[in-house]
Amino acid sequence: MKNTFGNSIALTLFGESHGAYIGATLDGLAPGIAVDEDFIRTQLDKRRPAGKISTARREADAFQIVSGVFEGKTTGTPLTVLIPNTAQHSKDYFATRSLARPGHADYTAFEKYHGCEDYRGGGHFSGRVTAALVAAGAILISALREKGVVIGTHLLSCAGISDTVFGDVRANVEKLNTLDFAVLDSDRGEQMKAAIEAAAAEGDSVGGVLETAVIGMPTGVGEPWFDTVEGVLSHALFSVPAIKGVEFGDAFGMVNGKGSDYNDSFYMIDDTVKTATNHNGGVNGGITNGMPILFRCAVKPTPSIFKEQDTVDFIKGEDAVLELKGRHDPAIIHRARVVVDSVTALALADLLALRYGTDWLGE
């Protein structure tokens, strides 16, 4: 029953969707890292529901840091963030507690936790828990930026509508981090929003692809076999609800090409090694090569929809029909973007601590 990720820097998530609190504990942080509570609020705002393209559940996310920070800096002891839940509608789930919602973890949670799980709103499996992940991630994102490592994610596609691909990666990343709806082409963004609203009007949902760039990562980070950069990042990314696929660089596009098409040629500029292209997404042999780390995440359509669906009653052991009530997102991708940034920061901070030592982020 493990809810912790990381080796040198480890994060533990706790709480349930309809419990009193959700929270996160970061252990292994160096002392002396500045903690900007205004930035944490900004990051939480990016995850918060907005308008017709999100759930009607609204939470203030009035977080408290209850340990590990003194006079605005980390102490080096475990840092714990608590976020109260204040908008629970638990009655929405009572009548359907033994019905397996298609695409959800109701049945698998019942099997793993022997019926002792908090089923309300998905309990510990709920996307609500990602608010705690974002709060903790904000601290790491700030610490990485101080070291010159900057992360940015955009909606590469949603509901079949595509955004502009990364061009000037640094400028694009900086722009994305100022936006609530993270797209490089605002007109395409409005089309995506309209498509999400249309799906909501039909009682349905949509998904898409998130594309992330990391700039400023030092070379030589990562391990050649079981803790490759791709492996560690994928481990973290697949913890984000709704992510069903991850690719680095032009991974799936390469299969129909040739080595001459996708090998990234090296060249020198100002005593620095660069590659002319970045088809491999900034990683060779599981180790960073100094180019931007580029990866994409497939985000499935939100499984909570308002259409009648066939299912089972796993308590009675019989077929059933389910029609959901309550408050649900017609798309989660625009809110998941900041969660992806947060788990990316966690994975990279851990890799960097393993490479340079646990005090490195605080130096």
CATH at 57: 3.60.150.10
Percent of the chain clearing pLDDT 90 (strictly above): 84
Q: Is the pLDDT of residue 84 over 90?
A: yes
Q: How confident is the model at residue 109 (pLDDT cuts 50, 70, 90)?
A: very high
The structure tokens 């408290």 sit at 64
- Which residues have a Cβ under 8 Å from the Cβ of 112 and sit 6 or more positions away? none
More confident: 71 or 306: 71
Q: Please, what's the largest Cα pairwise distance for the chain?
A: 70
Percent of the chain clearing pLDDT 70 (strictly above): 96
> Could you tell me the two tokens for 52?
């017709």
Average pLDDT over the chain, rounded to an integer: 93
| Confidence at residue 325, expressed as pLDDT on a 0 to 100 scale | 76
What sign does the dihedral 261-266-269-273 (CA atoms) show?
positive
Q: Is the pLDDT of residue 87 over 70?
A: no
Q: Is the pLDDT of residue 177 over 90?
A: yes
DSSP letter assigned to residue 240: S
- Cα angle, residue 55 at apex, residues 53 and 61 outer, rounded to 5°: 115
- Residue 321: give the domain boundaries: 4-362
Q: Which amino acid is at 332?
A: I
| Confidence at residue 17, expressed as pLDDT on a 0 to 100 scale | 87
The domain total for the chain is 1
Q: Is the pLDDT of residue 173 over 80?
A: yes
C-beta neighbour count of 302 within 10 angstroms: 25
Based on its alpha-carbon atoms, the radius of gyration of the chain, rounded to whole angstroms, reads 21
| Confidence at residue 50, expressed as pLDDT on a 0 to 100 scale | 78
Q: How confident is the model at residue 56 (pLDDT cuts 50, 70, 90)?
A: low
Q: Is the pLDDT of residue 68 over 70?
A: yes
| Confidence at residue 359, expressed as pLDDT on a 0 to 100 scale | 94
| Confidence at residue 89, expressed as pLDDT on a 0 to 100 scale | 60
> Could you tell me the two tokens for 144?
């990485």
Q: Is the pLDDT of residue 66 over 90?
A: yes
Q: Which amino acid is at 199?
A: A
Q: How confident is the model at residue 237 (pLDDT cuts 50, 70, 90)?
A: very high
